[in-house]
Amino acid sequence: MSATAAGPAGGIVLKYVAGIAAVALTAALAWVLRSLIVPAVLSGLLAYICRPLVSTLERYRVPRRVAIGLLLLGFVLATLFIVARIRMIVPTEIEALEYRVHALYVLNDHYRRLMGLDATLSRGNRAYQFLHADLDPLVDRANQMLALTSQERQLFLSTRPGGADAPPDTDRLLDEDRANLQTLLQRARLERATPLAAEPPVLRPATQTAPTMTRPLSWLAQVLSTWIIAPFVFFFLLSDTGEIKRGLLSMVPNRLFEPALTVMADLDHALGNWLRGLFLECCLLGISVVVLLALIGIPLRWAIAIGIFTGATNVVPYLGSAVALAGGLAYALLAGPIHPMIPLVTHDNLAIWVVLAVAAAELLKNIYEPVVLGSAAKLHPLVIVIGATGGAILFGLVGVLLAIPAISMLKVFVASTTRQLKAYGLI
Amino acid sequence: MAWLKETSRLAGVRKLLLPAREGGQHFDTPSASLRALFGPVSRSAPVESGTDLLGFLKRVYLFEDLKHGDLARLARIVHERRYRDGEWISEQGKPGAALFVLRSGTVEITRRTGDGGEIPLATLEPPSSFDELAAVGEVARWYSARARGPVCLIALGASDLDALGEHFPIPANKILRKLARITAARLQMLVEAHCLGADDGERRS
C-alpha cells in the first residue's frame, strides 16, 4: 500500500526536479552563450522583416533559396556601401588634429564669452560667479581631452602650409592653436588644470586607440566568432516555411492547440506591425533630421552621419531625437563651416536653429507615428526607462536596443494568452 | 430569378449533400438538416491508410482546386493532430480558431442540452471537414466534436489561412471560394429541409 502511494508521489517529485533542472540548465546555457543571443536575435528580426520580400519573389516564381541568396547579396552590397560612406566621414589623422584644435578654440571662446571672462580667466559675470565651481572642472576636463600632445602638435605644425612660424592672420587654425596654448597656460596658472606649459597632458584618444590598433586581428577574430552565426540564423529562418511554428505547436497538448494557435498569430501580428512600423519610423526620422540639418547649413556628410545615428538609435524611444540634438549641437558649438539655405542662420545662432530643427523633426515624427506604427504595442515611458536600463545592465548597448521589442512582445504574449485561456475556460 | 439561378448552380453540391434514398423515400427533416450541416461534400474515394499528407489533401473537396505546388505549400502549413478515444476536439460555446479535416478515425458531433444531456448529431468519417467557419474568423461553436477511437485530423488555422492569403492570394482565394460554396450549399439545404421540405427541394432541382 505504501509502495503504491509512494509511486505516484515519487513520480511527481521526479517530474518537478527534472523540470527545475531543465529550466536551470537552459538558463545557464543562455547565460554562457549570451554573446550569441544578440546576433541571433538581430538576424532573426532582420529575417522577419525580409520574409514578405522573399514571399513576393517566390510568388513571381523565384525559388525560395535563390530569393534568400539575392537578399544576402543585397545585404553584403549595402554593408560595403555603408562602410565606404563611414570611411568617407571618418577624418584622417591630420583632419582629426585640426578638428580638435578648432573644437578646443570654439569651446574656450564660447565659454569665455558666455561667462564674460577677463584675460586672466579668473573673473566673470554673475552667471560665472554662480556656476564656476561646477562648470570650471568640466571645462578643464574638456580642455585636457582636446589638447594636443607635444608629438601631435609637432605633427600638426608640420602640416601647416606656412610652417610653424607663419605670421598671425595668415593661417586660421594656427592662430587658434596659439590661442589654445595661451588658454591652457592660463588655466595651468590658475591651478585648475594639470600644468601644461612644459608638457601638455597625454590625451585620451591616443591612449584609447592603441590597444585596438595594436591587436586588430584578435579584435576582428572576436567579432567574427560572435557574429558569424548571424548569416546562418538569417538564412535558416528565412528558409523556414512554417516548420518552426508546426514544430512548436506539435508540442502543445490538444486542448491548448487552438489557444496556442491564436496566441502565436497575435504575436506574429504584433511583432510584424511593430518591426515594419519602427523600421519606417526610423527611416523617416533619419531623413527628416538629414534634410533639416542640411537646410540650416550643416554640411551634408555630417548631416547624413547624424541622421544615420538618429535613425538607428530611434529603436529606443526618445533616444533618436536626443542623439540628433547632441550631434547637431556638438557640430554647432565645436565644428567649422556652415552653408545655410535659410538666410537668418549664422554661426552665432546655429545652436538655436539646431534645437528648432530637432524640434521640427520630433513634431513631424508625432504626425507620422500614428500612421506608421498604428496600434503596435505601446509602452509606458517608465516601463521603457526601466526596460532599457535592465537591458543595458545585462547586455550593454545592444541590450538597450533589444529591451523594448522584448518587453512589447512579452506584453502582447501575456495579454493574448490570458484572453485565450479565459475564452476557452482554462482559467 | 437570381435565386433560381443560384439554386441551379448549387444543385451539384446539393445532390451530394442530400443524396436521394433508395426507392425515392422522403427525407425526415431533422436528419436532412443534419446531413446538410455535417454531410460530406464530395464522393471522393475513401482514403487509404498510409496515404501521404499531400496525397490526402489532394482528395479533400476543400482543396481540390489547388495545383500541386500550392498543395505542397499547404501541406507545410497545416497541422496534423492526433486524438485519443473520447478526447474532445472542440467544445460547444468555445471559440474556434481552426477548421478540421478528418484524416483517419471517426468523429462524433454532439450538442449539449439545457438539462445537461447530450444529443448526438452526426458521425463523421474521412475525409469530412468540420468547423469550416472557424477558418474565416473566430466564432463560438454551437456543437462539440469528440474522437471515437484514435483519430487523426488535419487542422488549418484561421491565422494560417490569413498568412497564406497575404503571401499567396491565389490558392487562399481558391480555398475561401470552396468554403463559401460549402457554406452556401449547407445553408440552402438547411432552409429547404426546414421550410420547404427536402422532397420539395429535390423536385425543384
Per-residue pLDDT of B123-182, as tens digits, reads: 998 888 898 888 887 678 889 999 999 999 999 999 999 989 988 899 999 999 999 988
What is residue A59's predicted lDDT score, i.e. its pLDDT?
Answer: 84
Say yes or no: A426 contacts chain B, CB-CB below 8 A.
Answer: no
Of B83, B96, B162, the CB nearest to A258: B96
What is residue A340's predicted lDDT score, i.e. its pLDDT?
Answer: 87
pLDDT tens-place string over residues B15-51: 444 444 444 433 344 566 676 677 665 555 555 555 6
pLDDT tens-place string over residues A218-271: 666 776 677 788 888 888 888 888 888 999 999 999 999 999 999 999 998 888
Q: What is the largest CA-CA distance in chain B?
A: 50
Q: Which residue of A has its CA nearest to B99?
A: A258
What is residue A7's predicted lDDT score, i.e. its pLDDT?
Answer: 62
Q: Which residue of B has its CA nearest to A242?
A: B77
Taking an 8 Å cut-off on Cβ atoms, the answer to whether B79 and A259 are in contact is no
Say yes or no: A255 contacts chain B, CB-CB below 8 A.
Answer: yes
SS3 content of chain A, % helix, strand, coil (to 5): 80, 0, 20
pLDDT grade for A15, boundaries at 50, 70 and 90: confident
Question: Is the CB of residue B131 less than 8 Å from the CB of residue B100?
Answer: yes
Q: How high does pLDDT run on average in chain A?
A: 82
Chain B contact set for A241 (CB, 8 A): 73, 76-77
pLDDT grade for B2, boundaries at 50, 70 and 90: very low
Taking an 8 Å cut-off on Cβ atoms, the answer to whether A59 and B168 are in contact is yes
Taking an 8 Å cut-off on Cβ atoms, the answer to whether A258 and B87 are in contact is no
In A150-282, beta strands by DSSP E: none
pLDDT tens-place string over residues A73-98: 988 898 888 777 777 777 788 888 88
What is residue A388's predicted lDDT score, i.e. its pLDDT?
Answer: 82
Min Cα separation A258/chain B (Å): 6
What is residue A36's predicted lDDT score, i.e. its pLDDT?
Answer: 81
Taking an 8 Å cut-off on Cβ atoms, the answer to whether A52 and B166 are in contact is yes
Position B89 pLDDT exceeds 70: yes
Give the residue from B101, B84, B95 showing the smallest Cα distance to B154: B101
Of A56, A243, A258, the CB nearest to B97: A258
Min Cα separation B56/chain A (Å): 18
Min Cα separation A225/chain B (Å): 34
Question: Is the CB of residue B8 less than 8 Å from the CB of residue B190?
Answer: no
Position A22 pLDDT exceeds 70: yes
- Report ipTM (2 d.p.): 0.78
Q: Read out DSSP for chain B? A: -HHHHHHHHTHHHHHHHSPPPGGGPPPPHHHHHHHHHHS-S--PPPPPTT--HHHHHHHSGGGTT--HHHHHHHHHHSEEEEE-TT-EEE-TTSEE-EEEEEEEEEEEEEEE-TTS-EEEEEEE-TT-EE-GGGGGS-EE-SSEEEEEEEEEEEEEEHHHHHHHHHH-HHHHHHHHHHHHHHHHHHHHHHHIIIII-HHHHHHH-
Chain B contact set for A255 (CB, 8 A): 88
What is residue B149's predicted lDDT score, i.e. its pLDDT?
Answer: 94
Of A59, A264, A424, the CB nearest to B94: A424
Chain B contact set for A257 (CB, 8 A): 79, 81, 98, 155
The rounded distance, in Å, linking the Cα atoms of A36 and A11 is: 36
What is residue A3's predicted lDDT score, i.e. its pLDDT?
Answer: 46
Between B71 and B20, residue with greater pLDDT: B71
Taking an 8 Å cut-off on Cβ atoms, the answer to whether B95 and A257 are in contact is no
Min Cα separation B77/chain A (Å): 6
Question: Is the CB of residue A266 less than 8 Å from the CB of residue A416?
Answer: yes
Chain B contact set for A58 (CB, 8 A): 167
The rounded distance, in Å, linking the Cα atoms of B54 and B46 is: 15
Between A355 and A11, residue with greater pLDDT: A355
Taking an 8 Å cut-off on Cβ atoms, the answer to whether A243 and B76 are in contact is yes
What is residue B50's predicted lDDT score, i.e. its pLDDT?
Answer: 55
What is residue B144's predicted lDDT score, i.e. its pLDDT?
Answer: 93
Min Cα separation B39/chain A (Å): 24
Percent of chain B topping pLDDT 90: 39
Mean of pLDDT values over A356-364: 93
What is residue B198's predicted lDDT score, i.e. its pLDDT?
Answer: 52
Q: Which of A120-129, A176-185, A395-404 has the highest mean pLDDT?
A: A176-185
pLDDT tens-place string over residues A191-221: 554 444 444 444 444 444 444 444 556 666 7
Q: Which residue of A has its CA nearest to B75?
A: A242
Torsion of CA A4, A6, A12, A17, to 10 degrees: -140
B positions 78-117 inside 8 Å of A (CB):
79-81, 83, 87-90, 94-98
What is residue A343's predicted lDDT score, i.e. its pLDDT?
Answer: 86
Min Cα separation B15/chain A (Å): 33
Min Cα separation B50/chain A (Å): 20
Taking an 8 Å cut-off on Cβ atoms, the answer to whether A243 and B155 are in contact is no
Mean of pLDDT values over B187-193: 82
Among B53, B71, B79, B130, the residue to mutate for chain A (most A Cβ within 10 A): B79
